[in-house]
Homo-oligomer: A and B are copies of this chain.
Amino acid sequence: MTRYKLILEYDGTDLIGWQQNHQGPSVQSLLQDAIKSFCGADADVVAAGRTDAGVHATAMVAHVDIDGGYGPDTVMRALNFYLVGRPVVVLDCAVVPDDFHARFSCRGRHYRYVVLNRRAPAVLNKNRVWWVPRELDVDAMERAAEKLIGAHDFTSFRASQCQAKSPMKTLDVARVTRRGDEIIFEFSAQSFLHHMVRNMVGTLVEIGLGKPFDIDEIFAARARSAAGPTAPASGLYFIGADYATADA
């Protein structure tokens, strides 16, 4: 068995998310089908982050074990051949040590969230952004985002179905910048709770619209109802995962 690290781009619009189940095509099931077509084996592809339905990735990291001693270029070409026309593509493939684990070895995860802030709805970036037609106060959002940084109990930003044992997380980056009609949110942490990014964005957008949310009070409340709504999946991108140099 050889372990391969894969870098993946995907359009989550028509997918049920990362995780395979019987409800429809997932990133994992499309990849596992491609591997089965390539070498006939039932593989288990493991990702750094199990994104939800509608969420995209520009650089999801995953690993998979395949028999046969194929070179990484062969694996990449073969998977992309069987993925033609599907919303998933392999950007890079490398052989990694057997103890590399896309999920458990991951030291940092990076997300981007894109809001389209203009009066007219999205056409060219349909399903790629969250359209917010009312004017947003980027400075107020940026000030609030700074308060999210650090080690906190993120219970107020956690989905009710979140399975993590602890609500304590350390957010390393929380940044809000305007680029033309788009407002870009960037978040980095070793790991995130379920819906944490979308709940932070939903809250920051309420603040940008002038709602009197206070991040310190939201943290203190430790209740999902204290924060803003969950931002739609369409604006969210998994954009990278970090590993120790020896692993990757």
Binds B, one of A84-92, A160-168, A183-191, A220-228: A84-92
Chain B residues near A126: list those with CB within 8 A.
Answer: 11
- Partner pick for A123 among B87, B118, B123, CB 8 A cutoff: B87
* Interchain Cβ contacts under 8 Å between A and B, 20 examples: A9-B120, A9-B123, A9-B124, A10-B123, A10-B124, A11-B124, A56-B124, A76-B120, A80-B120, A84-B121, A87-B123, A88-B123, A89-B120, A89-B121, A89-B122, A89-B123, A90-B120, A91-B118, A91-B120, A124-B128
Interface presence of A58 (CB below 8 A): yes
Give the distance to chain B from A118, nearest Cβ to Cβ, in Å. Answer: 7
| A119 CB contacts on chain B under 8 angstroms | 76, 91
Counting from the closest, the 7 A-B pairs by CB-CB distance are A89-B123, A89-B120, A91-B120, A9-B123, A11-B123, A11-B124, A87-B123
Contact with B along A100-128 (1 / 0, CB 8 A): 00000000000000000011111110101
Listed residue (A84, A90, A120) with the most chain B CB atoms within 10 angstroms of its CB: A120
Alpha-carbon distance A43/B87, docked complex (angstroms):
39
Main secondary structure of the interface of A (DSSP, over half): loop
Q: Which residue of B lies closest to A121 (CB)?
A: B89
Shortest CB distance A11–B (Å): 5
Quick one: which of A61-87 are within 8 Å of B by CB?
A: 76, 80, 84, 87
Please give me the residue from chain B that is nearest to A87 by CB atom: B123
Residues in B with CB closer than 8 Å to A56 are: 124
User: In the assembled complex, which residues on chain B have CB atoms less than 8 Å from the CB atom of A91?
Assistant: 118-120
A144–B104 CA distance with the chains assembled, in angstroms:
49
Complex Cα spacing A44 to B124, Å: 24
Give the distance in Å from the alpha carbon of A84 to the alpha carbon of B124 in the complex: 13
Q: How far is the CA of A124 from the CA of B56 in the complex (A)?
A: 8
Q: In whole angstroms, how far apart are the Cα atoms of A210 and B10 in the complex?
A: 32
Residues A27-63 near B (CB distance < 8 A): 56, 58
- Nearest-Cβ distance from residue A101 to partner chain B, whole angstroms: 24
Q: Which residue of B is nearest A237, CB measured?
A: B124
**Could you say which residues of chain B place their CB within 8 Å of the CB of A123?**
9-11, 87-89
